[in-house]
Chains A and B, each alone.
Chain A
Amino acid sequence: MNRRQFLKSALFTTVGAFLLKTTKVIAAETKKLIEKVSTKKYRNLNISAIGFGLMRLPQKNGEPDVTRTQAMVDYAMEHGINYFDTAWYYHGGKSELTVGKVFKKYPRSSYYLADKLPLRILGGKDHVLQVFEEQLKKCNVYEQLSQKKKEGKIKYLGFSIHDTPELLEEVIKTYKWDFVQLPINLIDWEKTDSSGWYGVNAKKQYEIATKAGLPVVVMNPLKGGQLSTLNQAAVELLKKENPNVSPSSWSLRYVASLENVFVVLSGMTEMEHMVDNVKTFTNFKPLTEKEQKVLSNAIAVYKSSGAITCTYCQYCVGCPIGIDIPKQFNIYNEYKADNKKDKFIAAYESVKAGCRAQDCISCGICKPKCPQKLDIPSLMKEVAKTYKELKNA
């Protein structure tokens, strides 16, 4: 190697190294440029105001699709979402397994994970207060959990509940909790109104939790996606006010604006949902008073359409007759949203004969399973009646 060659290669190496360094710096800078979603303070933790609910993951062959879930979780982590919520029951037990796979690459300290015990498996499925109380004592759930908390395996102990304000109050009174997870959305905000909606009185539940000093995690903010589709009239009202945002963002902002709410969970199935939610929670702004009125109006319009308040959570599966209850309600609700008669009839008839709404024998085995407290047999009759009328018309 002569001097000239030495100089030449030295020059190339320097330039190469410099270029590499610059690229890295630029990449890092770009990464920094990604705007993170807004956070809220819970104790000394900074938690993203939007959480990722893992009950409605993208599916492949009836099981959570790990690849697509991974992409969504990556996007979420990148944008600062750090609260994830799963449970034993979700996706027939597969949600927790998916969590195990998808979060492997992230350090445990970089995200918060909420999981729930399957009370129904622990013993009995009755919703009755005494049984629930007894269960807690019998299974030693609370004592054991608080023990785990002392051991450091549980950081914060909360509970998730779909029930009446009375039961909520009872549970809060009986034990010491760190937070509570409640189903809150505008449809359920007030108790049953004259149009026959089966609200769970979320307002009262929120007030009870706030009074007890328990921060609230909100689940079901979009009522199983109903608040992201609404019906045409309601969507028009919202678009008139702000044509650039989705209906979901309205409802999410509504619940996130509540003072005592520190994280809003949203079950997301598609990447679009994730992108839209991240957009909503980046530089989060609470709903103004005017906006609240617009939203309330839109919800009232939607409610008057007569859709069933099923969130398609699948808790009711196992109909002995073989009726896919959420599917039947979904078909009905889509009709209530778009009023397309032929589409409704076609969708209704695409279900296997013998497993349609009209085949319900009103045995009521599904009723205690419904967290929304729907009177499924009578609603099923309503679906069947609608079909019969439209068919004969």
Chain B
Amino acid sequence: MTKQKVIYYIRLFISALVLICSFLAFTTTFSFFAKFFSIQLGAGIASLIAAFSVTTLVAVLLVLLCTYLFGRFYCSLICPLGIMQDFINFATLKKSRNYKNFYKTRYTIAAIVFGALFSGWAVGFKILDPYTNFGLIASSIFSPIYNIISKTDNYQFTLASIAISLIPFIILIFLVLFRRRIFCTAICPVGTLLGLFSKYGFFRLQFTDKCITCGACFRNCPAGSINLKDKIFDNERCVRCLKCVSVCPKQAITYGVSKKDKKNTEQHFSQGRRNFVLGSVLVLGGIAAGVGGAIVRGKKFLQDTVRAILPPGAGNYNRLSSKCTSCQLCVAVCPNKVIHPRDFSHSNIYMDYSNGPCMYSCNECSKVCPTGAIKKISLQEKQHLRIGLAKIDRELCIACGICAFKCPAKALSIDEQEDGNRILVYNAAACIGCGMCQVACPHKAIEIVGIIEQTKI
């Protein structure tokens, strides 16, 4: 086995490991793996806007710097959706033709998505972010399968949530069969951003004089980044899968500092002033469309106050629906399965206490949320954050006191009156809406209702 093949298999091994860990994070409750997702670039950028933190900024900048130096290794080593596409491609044994450079499409999409994101609307990420889509697919399709195999009831899936997740999965399989990694090079906004950083990157793949123009690399490249005629790579699209390196019979592809070769520095893939102007117009138009969309949405749809029980740290409904990309990681890690995936009647994740309360000593969802839609709050903050209020049906209540016994916030108590009557006293000022009372009540006299804004108490 050649040195090149060994390197390729090492890359495959690492990728497979990452993919397995990602699946475990979404299908089981090992929140250890979930924390791994904070290095996801798309989620990281969204989180900078939703809940800025220096750590996230450093992580994002580090990924971008490494991309400039080494290329889009991110797409083949870290991005679970990218690795999954490789896997689908391998499993279907489909070899597709090379394809052209869809740079207009990707610039326009990225401009719209980032324009909307920076204006406070993560809709583009909800639909196109690779990590979000992986989350949807893994948690809604593979998690039920895992549950059936392991005979555990680990996940609150419904037919609706599965159906919603099937859509991106089917589209993805279709795209892979059609043109392999075309999602990464023509659609994915995160990929486009990485491409811009790697376009003039430092270390590149290059042909040496040993090349006999057999075309093996060209046929195997999933990203369509090889120009066989001029013998150059489009570093903007190359995802560093290293397939070309491993299939080259003459070991004619090397990885190193880009030579000051005229051929390499020249723009062979999107050359000319005309294309540059067109590209700029598309980008500016895309940004305008994204920003405009976010503003119109803000004016038209976010005026209403919506009442909802949301994971502690989400703030209010409008904030959550602007920042959450529906990756479902919180759904996966919630130990009591209180957070439910979005379905046809809920456009976001939602909370439901019918199976259990939001546990007083748990803030897992806030720990793992990679986009900052659920703010990172400490356990103490969570225990003093009201996310709902109890509505007590006095006609059903028999003042048995079970709720008062269970209430962790000491908001409920039983008052014995002089005439011997017992009544349930509710001190709403202390209530955090965890749902313990609703679950405990044997007469279904208590229901937790949503509030319009989570408030510190």
Q: Footprint of B on A, CB under 8 Å?
A: 320-322, 352, 354-355, 361-365
Contacts and interface: CB of A to CB of B under 8 A. Distances in A.
Given A320-B386, A322-B452, A354 B428 contact: no
Contacts of A365: 389, 428-429
A321 B429 contact: no
Among all A-B residue pairs, the 4 with the closest Cβ atoms? A363-B428, A320-B451, A361-B391, A322-B452
Contacts of B452: 320-322
Interface string B390-431: 111000000000000000000000000000000000101101
B431 A363 contact: yes
B429 A320 contact: no
29 contacts: A320-B386, A320-B389, A320-B452, A320-B453, A320-B455, A321-B307, A321-B389, A321-B451, A321-B452, A322-B305, A322-B307, A322-B451, A322-B452, A352-B304, A354-B307, A355-B305, A361-B389, A361-B390, A361-B391, A361-B392, A362-B391, A362-B392, A363-B389, A363-B426, A363-B428, A363-B431, A364-B426, A365-B389, A365-B429
Nearest to A320: B451
B449 interface: yes
Contacts of B305: 322, 355
Given A322-B451, A361-B390, A363-B390, 8 more contacts: A320-B451, A321-B389, A321-B452, A322-B452, A352-B304, A354-B307, A355-B305, A361-B389
A195 to B, nearest CB: 26
Interface residues of B, number: 17
Contacts of B386: 320
A321 B453 CA distance: 9
A322 B392 CA distance: 18
B409 to A, nearest CB: 13
Contacts of B429: 365
Interface in B361-398: 386, 389-392
A362 B424 CA distance: 13
Interface in B418-457: 426, 428-429, 431, 449, 451-453, 455
A92 B453 CA distance: 18
Contacts of A354: 307
Contacts of A320: 386, 389, 451-453, 455
Contacts of A321: 307, 389, 449, 451-452
Contacts of A361: 389-392, 449
A363 B433 CA distance: 12
A112 to B, nearest CB: 38
A363 B322 CA distance: 29
A365 B455 CA distance: 12
Nearest to A366: B428
Contacts of B455: 320
Nearest to A363: B428
Contact of A364 (B391, B428, B449, B453): B428
Nearest to A319: B452
Interface in B235-259: none
Contacts of B390: 361, 363
Contacts of B392: 361-362
Nearest to B429: A365
A364 B429 CA distance: 8
A194 B449 CA distance: 36
B280 to A, nearest CB: 37
A321 B433 CA distance: 13
A363 B425 CA distance: 11
Contacts of A363: 389-390, 426, 428, 431
A354 B455 CA distance: 19
B97 to A, nearest CB: 55
Nearest to A352: B304
Contacts of A322: 305, 307, 451-452
Contacts of A362: 391-392
A363 B455 CA distance: 15
A320 to B, nearest CB: 4
A355 B426 CA distance: 21
A320 B426 CA distance: 15
A159 B391 CA distance: 38
A365 B428 CA distance: 6
A362 B393 CA distance: 10
Nearest to A323: B452
B86 to A, nearest CB: 48
Contacts of B428: 363-365
A257 to B, nearest CB: 42
A123 to B, nearest CB: 15
A322 B449 CA distance: 12
A268 B453 CA distance: 32
A355 B386 CA distance: 19
Nearest to A360: B391
